Structure 1
Amino acid sequence: MAKLAEQQIHRLTIEGYASDGSGVARLEGMVVFVQGGIRGEMCDVRLTHVGRTALWGRVHEVLTPSSARVVPDCPHYGRCGGCQFRHMDYAQELEAKHTRVYDALTRLGGVEHLELPPVLGSPKVDRYRNKAQFPVSRGPRIGFYQNRTHRVVDVPDCLLQSQAAGRLRQAVKEWMTAWSVPAYDEKSRLGLVRHLYVRTNRRGESLCCLLVNGRGIPREHELVAALRSAEPGLTGVVLGINQSHSNVILGESYRTLWGQDFLSDRLCGSSFQLSVPSFYQVNPDQAEVLYNKALEFAQLTREDTALDLYCGIGTISLVLARQAGMVWGAEVVPQAVDDAVENARRNGVTNARFLCGDAGEAARRLDSQGVRPGVICVDPPRKGLAEEVVDIVASMAPRRVVYVSCDPGTLGRDVKRFAGHGYVLTQAAAVDLFPRAAHVETVVLLSKLNTKQHIEVELNLDELDLTASESKATYEEIREYVLEHTGLKVSHLYIAQVKQKYGIIERENYNKPKSENSRQPKCPPEKEAAITEALKHFGMI
């Protein structure tokens, strides 16, 4: 067999799906991630990247098409990285997402005999998103990043977004062109406009925010006039200041150019006030399904105190307050906490309190005050829970932990951590909030085992000696993440080399050779890229 190389075409059978929605095949004992493949199909696959332990490719020709294959209905599909499933019907997409969640909970979470019902699908697969974040680059091009790149694909109309978002996007593009307003350039760190943010509500109203690399913009009045003319339902225009040299989207501060700096919406029967940085699920119809499932798992009574960590603007907290005697919500973003307090007031909820702080700090504070929640709900960001948060939650000894997750991989990892404290998964449900995209939401119920039951926990003493930066993710967690998402196997040495490159101080036994004359192997580029992505995922860089 000739040496494997990029642009070669190989005939492969798609066996399953990866976490990013691509098909999975095998070639000469190596995993091949195939963009555009459907399980069961035989395809000619053109290799696009050859790694040491894994390969990447795209479908060149389908020889035995699946009955689930459809013609993509978006002209940008395949170039824009926003959608991953437009080449298959929705039923097959839900099967792929079910497989992903099941594999994460059983393989990473160690759950045995898992009963996972079919994924709860969305009635709407297009125009369901209530928030758009368009990157802007020179041209100007306003759209979405091409898959695995930071090259912006100009997308006049995204089928996932509201039509209002498309109209406001076009108005900003015409304003930039008319007045020669420069887009921000990541490499030179010059230019002005970085992102366009549009949030819409169920009444068809919109809030528009321009994120810029500066304290102001030229022709403010002309921008406001253009946006108001383009979208009759516009309620406010906000300028977000973001002068950081990073890929962070939202601003350090905000200034209202016109109208109001918030939007109101209704969810689960309550009214919510949303500022630009507020976290709010992008698919409100499916968010109601998800939160009601969380409430069902919580099994609250009026005798219960509940704790909602990562509460955002209080959406889950107010749902829990319907059945609990008292709910405490904790969130690290001050503006979101202010919104949560206001949302409780406007909905007449008197049995909810909110405090500002990260999850671990808030839980410790409440514990010191004698708060003993019977149910703790967590809804963390994609990187999941820090290990100390798992420890603190378990130390508060709730009867049940309800975990809402947007990443099955980190959910599986955390389920395994909770099992070490005697909390086992007893129920699980997957809810599709992101049709046509690879993401999927999951909610699980972790119930406390009988305290008399003996639990054995295997500890790696080497991993217990952690620096502050390492505590965000252990070496094994980084290895598992890289393997799950890329198929690459990476050593502790390679991880240490990449961490050292980003200024994360390592213990000597990981990054020093055993003798002065010994030479260490250098981390290959494809593994360095995969490890770097894992470090970003866990919030370490």
Structure 2
Amino acid sequence: MENFKKNDTFEAEVIDLTHEGQGVVKINRFPFFVDNALPGERIKMRVLKVGKSFGFGRVDEFLSQSEHRISGINLDYLRTGIADFGHLAYSEQLKFKQKQVSELLRKTAGKVEFPVLPVLAAEQTLAYRNKAQVPVQMVDGLLTTGFYRKNSHTLVPVEDFYIQDKALDAIILFIRDECRQMAVQAYDEKSRKGWLRHIVVRRAYHTGEVMVTLVVTNKKAPVPIKVLVNKLAAQFSNLKSVQLNINKGTGSFILGKEFVVLYGQDFISDTMLDKTFQISAPAFYQVNTAQAEKLYQTAYDFAQLLPTDVVIDAYSGIGTIGLGMADRVAKVYGMEVIASAVENAQHNAQLNHIENAHYEVGTAETIMPKWLAEGISPDLIFVDPPRKGLDESFIESATEANPRAIIYISCNPATFARDVVRFEAQGYQLEKVQPVDLFPQTHHVETVALFTRKK
């Protein structure tokens, strides 16, 4: 390591991007990661921080800029990670995401010549998110909504969230302004005083139905909360649900376990691939509905569904994947850890007059071996795990069940590449990978992959 010091400045060329969208600069072969810097640009870089094997820098001046740079973007979107690719032309974002998946497969799974298909692009690249989870803090004595600066709990005030449905922004600002007038105190992590922690808003893409969840420290509101609820209902005609969520914890998780309905019902309804779904507050539902429809359709196409197929839908959520194909197969079995999501899935099956779907509460790792012991023999297994990927014991159970194909939907290319190695060790080979862009303007990418038994 060179003897770099904070505030040293260097002229350098940006040679690459990290997976989080930071420019990579090398000074005497020592790498620095720099926000708001794109490959091909020459910059004057100031050293911010130096570690053992890499450092962080910032752009003091652009000596030349990339032809793919989007100018005029609010830099708060980069600083908070709301849109950490927002300064890069959309066509280049797609190329980078394809390259990211390919490189991780090459490095982790040794897939040198593996063909990762071009990313399925989004038609709507701004204002697409159907869900907002916005932290609240007192800033200079004023209740403020915004987003945390990357790797911190410092709130950056934001009014236009750029990638969120504009209706969500309007509801958040309305709640913020009403709370200011009522002198509601935001929760303070240091003193552990205050009441309001987060504002969570969902708006169904096809039906427009709205759910508001106020995450608070306790049930007893310090203000006449009914007044706020009545004003919300008068202002937003599609409001179907207002709930309190009680989170007394000190950790960084957003939702607590307990919900209290203040207005309407405890769900909203939407449609996806011509099926109707009820969505509860804690349930997982893809935040980009139009792209999720492409994602699921790709998964069905990969599976080549047959009317005789028995399908296991692991990590089934509210049933979107399993119920979307139930009328094309013989039987669907789904599992999910969130009990209210399983209730949603069971209810959604009834709503859509589906009688061949069965859902249970529990982890994929425990339910899968139980079903196999009961003699359930799947032809296809669909998995859509969280960012940490699949548990090794689940991969063993899934491959032991000997399905003709396993369809893996991943939101994290790194854990997906790791799981490719595990599947191959159990006799299942990776046939094809289709990235889908569910999160334009950000570094995130979803992939659909097909595994088949080795011949």
Q: TM-score category by the smaller chain?
A: over 0.9
Look up the equivalent residue of 2:109 and give its one-letter code. Answer: G
Name the residue aligned to 1:33.
33
Identity of aligned residues (%): 37
Look up the equivalent residue of 2:76 and give its one-letter code. Answer: H
Q: Deviations over 1:118-160 (max 9, x none)?
A: 1111100111000000011113121111112111111112111
- Which secondary structure state, in structure 1, belongs to the residue aligned with residue 328 of structure 2? coil
Residue 352 (structure 1) aligned to one of 350, 357, 365: 357
- Which secondary structure state, in structure 2, belongs to the residue aligned with residue 380 of structure 1? coil
Inter-partner Cα distance in structure 1 for 2:198 and 2:334: 31
How far has the Cα of 1:248 moved from its partner?
1.0
Provide the aligned length of Structure 1 versus Structure 2. Answer: 450
- Residue 75 to residue 69, structure 1, CA distance change in 2 (3 Å): closer
The normalised TM-score by structure 1 is 0.81
Inter-partner Cα distance in structure 2 for 1:9 and 1:225: 56
Pairing 1:311-460 to 2, within 5 Å after superposition: 311-450=316-455
Inter-partner Cα distance in structure 1 for 2:75 and 2:87: 12
Inter-partner Cα distance in structure 2 for 1:421 and 1:30: 40
Between 1:231-240 and 1:285-294, the stretch displaced more is 231-240
How far has the Cα of 1:209 moved from its partner?
0.6
Contact 2:161 2:169 in 1 (8 A): yes
- Residue 296 to residue 179, structure 1, CA distance change in 2 (3 Å): same
Inter-partner Cα distance in structure 1 for 2:83 and 2:156: 13
Name the residue aligned to 1:192.
195
Inter-partner Cα distance in structure 1 for 2:354 and 2:415: 33
CA RMSD for the aligned pairs?
Answer: 1.6
1:214 aligns with 2:203: no
Contact 1:197 1:208 in 2 (8 A): yes
Inter-partner Cα distance in structure 1 for 2:283 and 2:404: 30
Contact 2:102 2:116 in 1 (8 A): yes
Contact 1:24 1:34 in 2 (8 A): yes
How far has the Cα of 1:75 moved from its partner?
6.1
Residue 170 (structure 1) aligned to one of 170, 173, 178: 173
Look up the equivalent residue of 1:187 and give its one-letter code. Answer: K
How far has the Cα of 1:166 moved from its partner?
1.5
Inter-partner Cα distance in structure 2 for 1:169 and 1:49: 35
Name the residue aligned to 1:104.
104
Pairing 1:4-403 to 2, within 5 Å after superposition: 4-74=4-74, 76-139=76-139, 140-202=143-205, 203-217=207-221, 218-403=223-408
How far has the Cα of 1:185 moved from its partner?
1.5
Contact 1:183 1:193 in 2 (8 A): yes
Between 1:57-66 and 1:209-218, the stretch displaced more is 57-66
- Residue 75 to residue 38, structure 1, CA distance change in 2 (3 Å): closer
Q: Deviations over 1:82-112 (max 9, x none)?
A: 1111211101111121121111122123223
The normalised TM-score by structure 2 is 0.95
- Residue 2 to residue 75, structure 1, CA distance change in 2 (3 Å): closer
Q: Deviations over 1:337-387 (max 9, x none)?
A: 000011111111222111111001110111011011111111000111122
Look up the equivalent residue of 1:103 and give its one-letter code. Answer: E
How far has the Cα of 1:59 moved from its partner?
2.5
How far has the Cα of 1:177 moved from its partner?
1.6
Contact 1:137 1:152 in 2 (8 A): yes
How far has the Cα of 1:440 moved from its partner?
0.8
Contact 2:47 2:57 in 1 (8 A): yes
- Which secondary structure state, in structure 2, belongs to the residue aligned with residue 138 of structure 1? strand
Between 1:28-37 and 1:322-331, the stretch displaced more is 28-37
Contact 2:196 2:215 in 1 (8 A): yes
Look up the equivalent residue of 2:398 and give its one-letter code. Answer: V
- Which secondary structure state, in structure 2, belongs to the residue aligned with residue 171 of structure 1? helix
Contact 2:335 2:359 in 1 (8 A): yes
How far has the Cα of 1:2 moved from its partner?
7.0
Q: Which runs of 5+ in 2 are unaligned?
A: none
Inter-partner Cα distance in structure 2 for 1:30 and 1:445: 39
More strand by share: 2
Q: Which runs of 5+ in 1 are unaligned?
A: 451-541
Pairing 1:521-536 to 2, within 5 Å after superposition: none
